[in-house]
Amino acid sequence: MSKDLEPAALDQWYVIESSEDLRSDQPRRTRLLGRPILGERSASGTVTIEERTEEGETLRKLPCLERYGYVWTTLGAPVKPLFDMPEFEEDGRRLVVCGVLTVRTSPGRIVENFLDLSHFPFVHTDILGAEPMTEVTPYKAKLDESSGELWVTECGFYQPQAMAASSGAAQVDYLYRVPQPYAAVLYKSSPGKAGAFDLIGIFPQPLEETLCDVHCFMLVYDDVSSYEGMLQWQQGIFLQDRIILENQRPARLPLDPKAELPSRADTSAIQYRRWLKNLGVEFGVA
């Protein structure tokens, strides 16, 4: 077995594959927190997940569940059930499973970047932002003590093409939910339903400390876009993020406030790092 891992990393739920891609004829041989993992679906549909040795021998069976279009497991003993997303029960939404993108950085860098509004005009130019509208208006980032989740609220941004279904530029309301250290969901004004929010979520699967498979979904009110069109829109954005993420140094997320001031002096980044430090996260941080 590889090095000891701290409970804060072990006791989270992690996606290892989308439900549609874990087929009975296609096992998933992967890694989680530096350990070999095998996910399999039987012909009758039952999923089993094992932790294995580097030589491919079974070490133990792991907990597994299927939810939100994904297969989840844990290497530890989560104190809480997998976070609830009641939006998945709402009529009229479409789920888009956006596939997996491998990114050579830590899960913390990936989540922090996901929470960062200020990069939109420069990285997602003419899609999620545009010059000269580069100002990030004041917003709130706060740990919700009752749920133990980080919430970033009251965000707004001018976006040329906020979603695949957008017909033009709009001022878009945002909020972010980080239900566990290495999972994040954003809610943004839906162009398909007035007053409602579309969801975009990322579930980084840390293969190693600075190597992740990022699983991404959208849950949207959109009757006009093709599935393929929505997929391409989202994948294009994540490919832009990957270039930025893989150039950040150090790849591990620095938690010592003196080590690196977030370059964007970002409230959400400061709160996120403080939260990871207080939880005792060591995997993938510096």
Q: Which stretch binds Fe ion (CB under 5 A): 89-97, 198-206, 238-246, 267-275?
A: 238-246
By C-beta, is 41 or 124 nearer to Fe ion? 124
Q: Which stretch binds Fe ion (CB under 5 A): 43-51, 155-163, 210-218, 236-244?
A: 236-244
Q: In Å, what is the CA distance from 197 to each residue of 94, 168, 173, 211?
A: 12, 17, 9, 31
Cβ-closest residue to Fe ion? 241
Note whether 112 binds Fe ion by CB under 5 A: no
Tell me which DSSP letter residue 89 carries. G
Residue 214 in tokens: 């990022």
Nearest to 206 by CA among 131, 108, 85, 70: 108
* Region of residue 280 (left: phi > 0; alpha: psi -120 to 50; beta: else): left
Task: Give the shortest CB-37-to-Fe ion separation in angstroms.
Answer: 28
Nearest to 220 by CA among 187, 171, 184: 187
By C-beta, is 100 or 202 nearer to Fe ion? 202
* Region of residue 89 (left: phi > 0; alpha: psi -120 to 50; beta: else): alpha
CA distance 271 to 150: 8
Task: Give the shortest CB-176-to-Fe ion separation in angstroms.
Answer: 12
Q: Does residue 254 have a cis peptide bond before it, meaning omega lies within 30 degrees of 0?
A: no
Note whether 266 binds Fe ion by CB under 5 A: no
By C-beta, is 32 or 127 nearer to Fe ion? 127
By C-beta, is 213 or 241 nearer to Fe ion? 241
Q: Which stretch binds Fe ion (CB under 5 A): 38-46, 52-60, 234-242, 272-280?
A: 234-242
Q: Which stretch binds Fe ion (CB under 5 A): 61-69, 99-107, 240-248, 272-280?
A: 240-248
By C-beta, is 222 or 241 nearer to Fe ion? 241
Q: Which stretch binds Fe ion (CB under 5 A): 28-36, 50-58, 235-243, 266-274?
A: 235-243
Task: Give the shortest CB-46-to-Fe ion separation in angstroms.
Answer: 37
Note whether 241 binds Fe ion by CB under 5 A: yes
| Sheet with 170-180: strands ordered across | 94-103, 211-220, 197-208, 183-189, 170-180, 149-159, 140-144
- CB of 284 within 8 A of CB of 108? yes
| Chain residues that interact with Fe ion, rule: CB under 5 A | 241
